[in-house]
Amino acid sequence: MRILVVLSIFFGLALFTLVAYIILSFALDPMPDNMAFGEQLPSSSELLDEVDRELAASETRLREMERYVTSDTFTLRSRFRQL
């Protein structure tokens, strides 16, 4: 990309290049801080593993809640509350 910029300046497209840089400086999002210091973002497989762990934990919690709601203890407590 930088080679194209240098070549465009040499071949008389300096004004176009300057205008494009100004427009892109407003249009593009700023670089994240972790990218500026050389830190890498987690890979897609790492993100997928993390989401899979969260989903498994959520499913376990859901099963525990379902087990409680369908239990006799829950039924008994709800009937006492209705009295």
pLDDT in tens, 25-81: 888 887 777 666 666 777 889 999 999 999 999 999 999 999 988 988 888 888 888
Q: What is the pTM of this model?
A: 0.46
Distance, C-alpha 70 to centroid of its chain = 36
Q: What is the DSSP letter of 71?
A: S
